[in-house]
Amino acid sequence: MTVEKLCKALGGTVVSGGAAMNENVTGYYCGDLLSRVMANAPKGCAWITVMGNVNAVAVALMAEAACILLAENVNPDPDAVEKAREKNIAVLCCGRTAGELAVAVHEALCHEQP
């Protein structure tokens, strides 16, 4: 499923998009401790977090997350948005909690039409 489709399914707001919206989402990961994300987040995941700083963008880039999914309507820092756009990382914002988002992403991936 593309980030674009996932965003529509979740009703999220695109903070940083462009070509990154075509990335393929193949899983999901919840977490805010950056090194834990790099240790355990699967490549191609939708990374659900409340960490909206510039370092989160760097971590998404290293871990090769398909997108950053900001929970609880967290507003990313302006320099994070700038870096995400520069590095072509999709950042989406949603009102739901991280747990609710994980369930929603799981359902969207399970119910995706082939």
Partner 1 sequence: MNEVLLLHYEIRGGDFIHAGESSGHVKNILKRLGFHPNLIRRTAIAMYEGEINMVIHAGGGTADVKITPEQIEIRLADHGPGIKNLDLAMREGYSTASDSVRELGFGAGMGLPNMKKYADDLKIRTAVGKGTTVSILTKVSRNQG
Which residues from 25-84 bind partner 1, rule CB under 8 A? 32-36, 38-39, 43, 51, 53-56, 58-59, 61-64, 79
Tokens representing residue 98 in the block: 């991280």
In the complex with partner 1, the residue whose CB is nearer, 30 or 56, is: 56
In the complex with partner 1, the residue whose CB is nearer, 59 or 104, is: 59
Phi and psi torsions of 49, nearest 5°: -155, 170
Residues that bind partner 1 (CB under 8 A): 32-36, 38-39, 43, 51, 53-56, 58-59, 61-64, 79, 87
